[in-house]
Amino acid sequence: EAEVAQSPRYKITEKSQAVAFWCDPISGHATLYWYRQILGQGPELLVQFQDESVVDDSQLPKDRFSAERLKGVDSTLKIQPAELGDSAMYLCASSRADYTEAFFGQGTRLTVV
Amino acid sequence: KQEVTQIPAALSVPEGENLVLNCSFTDSAIYNLQWFRQDPGKGLTSLLLIQSSQREQTSGRLNASLDKSSGRSTLYIAASQPGDSATYLCAVGTNDMRFGAGTRLTVKP
């Protein structure tokens, strides 16, 4: 069964260091989302791609976060420099198109120390 | 801005009970609503997707309904089992996909 792949599963980094997360969506899925989920809360959208184009990055802290999906397939989310408050689960999801069923990866648990 | 609320925040029931989880949203101009399950430390698993033109969807012991005009959706779980214990999240699809904070369900044997 096709699934969204994310790596790494866990990441511990020191504050002020750079960190990157990778996501490979289900094949053929044009829409890709990155979410951040703080423990006990619902996921919050960071960035949404349609193919290689950013559709919504209004909640992305652009002074330290960046995201790309160069060939419209896999995607990378980067944080530089990491801050203590960035500790959270980072979730990637994909869907065939807007407004269709979204599927999530297992997430990357980031701890900033 | 779309606001999504889930009530209750936590629920504990004995095995075998039927239960209802609630999701409300402030902007009725939605394209769809999706229910997810999340186990501790894991990603989200899609349970049901309801398009805005639909009233309900069923999958096994799960039934989700949508009343777009009143801004509400419910997830009905029949004959609950300990394996149903998880956090249940609803996500409302507009220009993006916005989540509620979830309902943490515990089913006691």
Contact B44 A56 (CB under 8 A): no
What the block records as the tokens of A55 is: 């559709």
Q: What is the nearest CA distance from A81 to chain B, expressed in angstroms?
A: 25
Write out chain B residues lying below 8 Å of A35, CB-based.
99
Which tens digits make up the pLDDT trace of A3-30? 999 999 999 999 999 999 999 999 999 9
The single-letter DSSP state of residue A8 is -
Q: How much is the average pLDDT of B44-69?
A: 96
pLDDT at residue B1 above 90?
no
Contact B102 A42 (CB under 8 A): yes
Q: Is B58 on the interface with A (CB under 8 A)?
A: no
Sign of CA dihedral A100, B70, B10, B102: positive
Write out chain A residues lying below 8 Å of B93, CB-based.
98-99
pLDDT at A100: 86
Choosing among A3, A33, A36, A37, which should be mutated to test the B contact, i.e. which has the most B CBs within 10 A?
A37
pLDDT at residue A99 above 80?
no
Would you tell me which residues 64-83 of chain B have a C-beta closer than 8 angstroms to some C-beta of chain A?
A: none
Among A89-93, B29-33, B82-86, which is the least confidently predicted range? B29-33
Which tens digits make up the pLDDT trace of A36-80? 999 999 999 999 999 999 999 999 999 999 999 988 899 999 999
Closest A-chain CA to B4 = A42
The single-letter DSSP state of residue A26 is P
Cβ-based burial of B90 (10 A; exposed 0-12, middle 13-18, buried ≥19): buried
Closest A-chain CA to B88 = A42
The answer to whether residues B12 and B109 touch, using CB atoms and an 8 Å cutoff, is no
